Structure 1
Amino acid sequence: MKIHQICATLALAGTFAVVSGCKDFYAVNVNPLYPTSTTLNTLLPVAQVSMASDLGDNVGGLSQYTMGLMQQLYSTRGIGNFAQTGGSFGGPWSDLYTSMLTNNQIIIDQGTKEAQWGYVGVAQLQKAYVFSQMVDLWGDIPYSEALKGAANLAPRFDKDSDIYNGSADGSIQGLFSLIDEALANLAKAPSNATLNDADLIYKGSLDKWARFGRTLKLKLYNQIRKTNSNATVISQVTPLLNSQLIEEGGDLQLAYSTSISPDNRNPGYVIDYNSNPENHIGRYFYEDMKTKNDPRVRYYFFNQLKDNATTTNQDYINGNFVTVRPGSTGQFTSSASTAAVQTLQGLYPIGGRYDDGNGSTGVPTAKGVAPQRLLTYYARKYTEAELQLMVLNNTAAARAALVEALNASFNKVNTIAAVDGSPVMTTAQINGYINRVATPLSNSGPLDRFDRATNNEDRLEVIMYEKYVASFGYGVDVYTDFRRTHHPQIRVSQQAADPSRGLLPDDGGTLSQGIFPYRFYYPTSDLILNPNSPRTQAPLTSRIFWDR
């Protein structure tokens, strides 16, 4: 299916509910001047492409911003140095409302009228997922009164906790209730050939969508676990842990292709593999993986310099690894020669090049076909490890889930490598990393670090570090996990360091432009144009409701 061509065709035909790209508040709701009815099988792929693009690892995607905050990436826009304004996130905010959520709501409304329960259930799960991600970044947002078109062009900003849990007066349906309704609709839906063709994610498999829905509930209960008693969390998650969840090979993700006209390659690849790459690689992220002898390094990062080569007149050089540090005080942060020598995102996150050691002089193999991962099987297993450790107090079960998560993480890389035609990691390489024993302990493999930890916080550090590494390419959940657990520890400019929150100081060679934020700023235009919006930005130190 020609993804971008579909979007362009629909836009020209006027079947979008609104014009994608309108960057003012009123795009939060359906523009009544445009048609609000079309065939469900043309709207679903539009919503799914927008979801992956707006949340994903690309120049306008929220994962690129959040990976910057988490020191995995750094771009000249400065978010990795904690510089944000009321204009920083207007693009993905607007597009999620105008393209993804609005078209998705039409599927729900029209599908309900037509009794197309498969479409309705899928769209409800997508709605719950996207709104949960937006709450995790912004807190209070337009929700219950959003997407209503001319009926309400100035919706209120609902409380973040009400969006998750529902309001006490029943006026707001919470995300958990929405997921349950979606699962009920999937259960009563007959097979539908048009859904099979239109669904770019699960090809119409209602079983896989239901597994995703239950896994999403588990994820969200885990995220808000500190807002409830342990007994309550146990009662919430135990039935889900015993249910059918995402299986290996059943990840929520959007696949890309090698097509150039129209360009259906991974959008992160399209930007970073041109004459002026968007992103630099986080120094400490790269070096920590190298120090731990992680065999995924050659899949995660592509060094344009050959093995054993180096260069000069760059901001940061470690052998053939070249980058620019967030907030660097060095003299080469804007070097015109950076593009030709800097280390790039590799095969795993964006379909870039597998690093075979030959540098940019080797035979080009990058195809840009790596999928945009959203919610995966390995993420499910890391969530289970966290719950077993911190809620169910079962260290042995947490360790077993960690082992499953680790193997799933490596399997995911190998799957992407096999599709690309690149070498895959051997069992010996994988086990060598997982079981490695080294001095100091910080350089050991995850199981040795877990087994030698003396308390649950140190064990949780192991789980969350491995989840952080596995999730490279999807930063929204990494940023959320860090704020709610303070794990894994990352290194930032000394001005922004706060060891109590897991923010360790770097070597002093960088200068922060702000504090590490607890949340994102709203687009300023929304605050100005909507009379029911907050009158001012929430302080960057104010926390999302689950952050305790």
Structure 2
Amino acid sequence: MNGTHRPISFLVAFVLILTTSACKKFVDINGDPNNPTEPNLSLLLSGTQVSIAGNFTGINSGGSAVVQHWGSGNLNRWDQSGGTFSSSWSGFYTGAIPDLETIIKTGTEQQQWGYVSIAKLQKAYLYSIMVDVWGDIPYTQAGGSYTDPVFDKGQDIYNSLFTLIDEALADMEKGFTVTSSADLFYQGSKERWQRMAYSLKLKMFNQIRLVDPARAEQGIRTLLSSGVPLMTENAHDFTFRYGSNVTPNSRHPWYINSYNTSRSGYMSMTLINRLKQQDDPRLRYYIFRMRSNAGLANATNGDGYYGRYPGDGAASPADHSTRAISGIYPAAGLYDNGTIATLTSANQLLNNEGASAGTTANSFRIALFTSGDGTGAGILPLITNAMVNFIRAEAALTLNTGEDARKLLLDAVTAQLTSVSTLSASNKGNAIPAATITGFITRLGQQYDAADAAGKMQLLMMQKWIALYGNGVEAYNDYRRTGLPQLEDLVSPLDTFPFRFYYSETEMTSNASVIANRDAVQRAQQLTPVFWDK
């Protein structure tokens, strides 16, 4: 397989979801061969992938708000409730997980090991993320057979997931055949799923390094020394790719939220300011300005970057046509090609070369919502080549794994800059010039060389925080584990820092295993770290 990712059409996705929900065993007294009694593994697999990506949106938004990638939302003020993540919780437990279990069971019976191995890897990834954000969750009794599943300890689940990944890798060697159209991530490529599996193990070992450094170090060293395939180029990325269809809507959720007349939410001034201060060319790709002179609080004396500072709960004025919105990365909105008035001669990489004077060329198009407002065919980066290099660099600095942390950091940033450039170029935007990427990496290397041990770690995690724009869950994980990069003080917090996300209130009021203590259990989510957060 060439590894090329296909955008998912949500017309197809909608059919998949409907078909998936209908793929239950039933009794057909006529034995009609056109009405099979066994689940269709191809349709089920595609359906689980759409479901995982679709229900990731809620926890992604929450994480992005906590780590100040976004400047609005309840979690931006550290406030949550039983309804905040109910959609994601329900979607995972009533959609993706039961269907993954069906694929594993039926695929094993039919010896369809390609489907079985992919389903196990998706299950391992999904549960690892659910533990990361919720902590203790139903696992051994999840999947539909139990009406009141018990909540297993997050650490026990992690231990089981390491085993599950090994099972999936062993299943691949029994035979791997998957219809390419059924696999929206890798089009049935065994090699790329192997890379995803080992990279997931790497990520999980790094995640537990504070509570079990010996196991983390040994696990990572074994992965590195054994020659197993990790993600080493962007073509290996475990990334969900949205489409550009309008009806049904297959576009990136950030695009849908921003490119319409009733847009909600604000861009983060923390992110905007850091990109400007660090002379980072990604500002033009991450943020699109509606008006070149828009300022905070809907003023007209700014440079277009009208967002909000973290924890600002002020009411929204009539500013739908002036607030800054999602750019071309990762949502495939618009590339900002307008003049940034506040740039100075100190800005060498984020500059006004080739910029349109006064305003962006597309500002008025978006105000009218014409065909010039981007495509929406963005990406959801789940595990990427860039992330793997960042993780290896962190492990080299903290676990003495023997690798060159400097080179890995520079490789990670190069990979992510390239990903930004590629997505932009394929969605009506500008590619990042090669000289700009080279200049950015050269300067970053100089900053690394000048830093002490603590400074090197701070530089690494700041660059990873910037690169993780689009995946707030992983940025949330990193901040809880390292405390880096330092976040801004909230303007008006409504609660203490959230160490975990709230459970779905429906689960709390219907599951007999927790209902007696539901209030205490729920409140503990805000206050109690996940097991790996020492």
| Shorter-chain TM-score range | 0.7 to 0.9
Aligned ranges for residues 86-485 of structure 1 at < 5 Å? Answer: 86-147=82-143, 149=144, 151-165=145-159, 174-192=160-178, 195-230=179-214, 232-241=215-224, 242-248=227-233, 249-306=235-292, 309-310=293-294, 313-314=297-298, 318-328=302-312, 333-336=315-318, 338-357=319-338, 358-359=359-360, 360-361=363-364, 364-392=372-400, 394=402, 397-436=404-443, 446-455=444-453, 457-485=454-482
**Letter aligned with residue 158 of structure 2:** Y
CA distance in structure 2 between the partners assigned to 1:315 and 1:520 by the alignment = 35
CA distance in structure 2 between the partners assigned to 1:204 and 1:103 by the alignment = 18
CA distance in structure 2 between the partners assigned to 1:346 and 1:243 by the alignment = 37
Count residues in correspondence: 482
Give SS of 2:21's match: coil
Cα-to-partner distance string for 1:126-174 (whole Å, 9 max, x where unaligned): 0000000000001000001100x3x421110000100001xxxxxxxx0
Closer, same or farther: CA 391–124 of 1 in aligned 2, 3 Å: same
Closer, same or farther: CA 316–225 of 1 in aligned 2, 3 Å: farther
Which residue number in structure 2 is paired with residue 439 of structure 1?
Answer: none
- 5+ unaligned residues in a row in structure 1: which ranges? 19-34, 166-173, 437-445, 494-509
Shift of 1:476: 0.5
Closer, same or farther: CA 133–539 of 1 in aligned 2, 3 Å: closer
The root-mean-square deviation of aligned C-alpha atoms, in Å, is: 2.2
- 1:9 paired residue among 9, 12, 15: 15
Shift of 1:300: 0.6
Give SS of 2:266's match: strand
- Asked whether the equivalents of residues 321 and 342 of structure 1 are also in contact (C-alpha less than 8 Å), the reply is yes
| TM-score, length basis structure 1 | 0.84
CA distance in structure 1 between the partners assigned to 2:530 and 2:137 by the alignment = 11
- Asked whether the equivalents of residues 113 and 175 of structure 2 are also in contact (C-alpha less than 8 Å), the reply is yes
For structure 1, which segment, 38-47 or 250-259, has the greater mean C-alpha deviation from structure 2 after superposition? 250-259
CA distance in structure 1 between the partners assigned to 2:297 and 2:105 by the alignment = 58
Which residue number in structure 2 is paired with residue 512 of structure 1?
Answer: 493
CA distance in structure 2 between the partners assigned to 1:219 and 1:316 by the alignment = 45
Shift of 1:201: 0.6
Which residue number in structure 2 is paired with residue 66 of structure 1?
Answer: 63
Closer, same or farther: CA 328–184 of 1 in aligned 2, 3 Å: same
Closer, same or farther: CA 267–37 of 1 in aligned 2, 3 Å: farther
CA distance in structure 2 between the partners assigned to 1:267 and 1:37 by the alignment = 34
Shift of 1:298: 0.6
| TM-score, length basis structure 2 | 0.86
Shift of 1:14: 7.1
Give SS of 1:287's match: helix
Closer, same or farther: CA 89–315 of 1 in aligned 2, 3 Å: farther
Closer, same or farther: CA 485–12 of 1 in aligned 2, 3 Å: closer
CA distance in structure 2 between the partners assigned to 1:435 and 1:126 by the alignment = 37
Closer, same or farther: CA 329–132 of 1 in aligned 2, 3 Å: closer
Give SS of 1:164's match: helix
CA distance in structure 2 between the partners assigned to 1:133 and 1:329 by the alignment = 29
Closer, same or farther: CA 313–408 of 1 in aligned 2, 3 Å: closer
For structure 1, which segment, 133-142 or 367-376, has the greater mean C-alpha deviation from structure 2 after superposition? 367-376
Shift of 1:276: 1.9
For structure 1, which segment, 6-15 or 341-350, has the greater mean C-alpha deviation from structure 2 after superposition? 6-15
Give SS of 1:374's match: strand
Cα-to-partner distance string for 1:379-432 (whole Å, 9 max, x where unaligned): 0000000011100165x7111111111110111111101211321111221222
Shift of 1:78: 1.7
Is 1:79 aligned to residue 80 of structure 2?
no
